């Protein structure tokens, strides 16, 4: 089994590709692979519960992490995060990248 790490750095209102990331992550998961979506920079805007983006990810069993510094820079509080999205430092991305048999894609 391959593990996939999809890194989303773009604002969901700037690019419709955030939807593409969601669809891709779910499709990979449905094929039996572990998937982590790491939201960073403006990508963390999609993590807010009142936005309603990325809602299928948690239901599909995809791990979703929002970068702590990116959240703080944008004034997003932990209680504003959608269900199934957890806050973590950049070290958690490094942990994921440093695992063997892991494919990483930056968007």
Residues in contact with other proteins by the rule CB under 8 A: 7, 9, 40-42, 67, 69, 89-91, 93-95, 97-100, 102, 104, 106
CB of 40 to other proteins, least distance (A): 6
CB of 56 to other proteins, least distance (A): 25
CB of 5 to other proteins, least distance (A): 9
Structure tokens at 9: 């750095």
Contact 44, 78 (CB under 8 A): no
Cβ nearer to other proteins, comparing 62 with 70: 70
Helix intervals (H) in 45-89: 55-60, 68-73
CA 100 – CA 27 distance, rounded (Å) = 21
In the sheet that 102-106 helps form, which strands lie side by side, from edge to edge? 85-88, 63-67, 34-39, 3-8, 102-106
Cβ nearer to other proteins, comparing 59 with 95: 95
Instruction: Determine the distance from the C-alpha atom of residue 90 to the mean position of all C-alpha atoms in its chain, rounded to a whole number.
Output: 12
Cβ nearer to other proteins, comparing 27 with 69: 69
Cβ nearer to other proteins, comparing 59 with 90: 90
CB of 67 to other proteins, least distance (A): 8
């Amino acid at each position: 089994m391959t593990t996939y790490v999809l890194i989303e750095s773009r604002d969901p209102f700037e690019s419709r590709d955030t939807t593409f990331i969601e669809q891709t992550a779910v499709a990979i998961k449905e094929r039996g692979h572990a998937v982590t979506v790491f939201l960073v920079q403006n990508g963390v805007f999609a993590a807010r519960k009142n936005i309603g983006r990325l809602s299928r990810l948690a239901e599909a069993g995809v791990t979703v992490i929002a970068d702590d510094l990116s959240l703080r820079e944008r004034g997003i509080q932990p209680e504003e995060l959608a269900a199934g999205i957890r806050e973590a430092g950049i070290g958690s991305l490094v942990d994921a990248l440093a695992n063997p048999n892991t494919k990483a894609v930056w968007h």
